[in-house]
Each structure stands twice: as C-alpha cells, then as structure tokens.
Amino acid sequence: MASRNAGSEATYFVEYSGDSMTKEDPSNCPFCGIFERGEPVSMVWEDDQVAVFVVLKPVNLGNVVVVPKRHLPYFADLDDELATHIMLVAKRVAASIRECGLQCEGINLF
Ligand SMILES: [Zn+2]
C-alpha cells in the first residue's frame, strides 16, 4: 500500500459547512474539496484510496476522520474492498493514537 504521512506538511483543518450535498453533486462536499480542489488539511494518513485528517472542532483529543478519496457520501456506497480497506486504515490509526501518548479513554468509530 502506497502511503505518506503528510502531517508535517499541512497546517490547516477541515470543517463541514452544513450546505446540502447530493450523491450526484459533490460541489458542497467538504471531502471532495480536499481531494479534487486541493483545499488544505492537516493530513494524518493518505494513500490512493483513503485519507485520514484532523477535524477543526474535535469531539475529543485525537479526533480524526477516515474517508474515501472518491465522492461516496453514504456508507452503503462503499464496495466491500474499499470498506475493508477503510476499516484496516482506521484500525492502524487507532493503534497509532494509542501508542503516541495522547490521553484518550477509548476509540470510537462513527
Ligand atoms: Zn465528496
């Protein structure tokens, strides 16, 4: 799996504006804004299919989002291979959060 840790390169965060987004029209999709329009984020992990980055208003320390790099607004849109890959990336990131010394009581996926 090709990957890179861009955390040292990026200094910005992403915030969802709340504007409506459809499956057919990704123009208001905050994630497509990152991958297709090059909007900056603080990237934690990235490969050719999946990205993990810090959110602007984290619920807890270590709050990151794990998303596909294609416009797939609904979880059910993921094919089995991509869904599996996303979960494996989330598992690795969860392990890294545990190992980095960040004080977190647990890891939640939602
Ligand atoms: Zn999108």
Which CATH number fits the domain that encloses residue 91? 3.30.428.10
Which residues, other chains included, contact 106 with Cβ-Cβ below 8 Å and sequence gap of 6+? none
What pLDDT is attached to residue 79? 97
- Residue 61 CA, ligand 1 centroid: distance in Å: 25
pLDDT tens track for 71-107: 998 889 999 999 999 999 999 999 998 898 888 777 8
Quote the pTM value.
0.74
Distances (CA, A) of 64 to 22, 23, 25, 27, 31: 23, 23, 25, 22, 13
CA of 103 to the centre of ligand 1 (A): 31
Range list of H helices, the chain: 30-35, 80-99
Which residues neighbour ligand 1 (ion) by CB within 5 Å? Answer: 26, 29, 31-32, 71
Report which of 39, 37, 38, 36 is spatially closest to residue 15, judged by C-alpha positions.
39
Range of the domain at 72: 1-110
- Read off the pLDDT of residues 7-60 as tens digits, 9 standing for 90 and up: 444 444 555 555 566 777 778 888 888 888 788 889 999 999 999 998 878 888
Residue type, 89: V
C-alpha 72 to ligand 1 mean position (Å): 6
pLDDT attached to residue 3 = 38
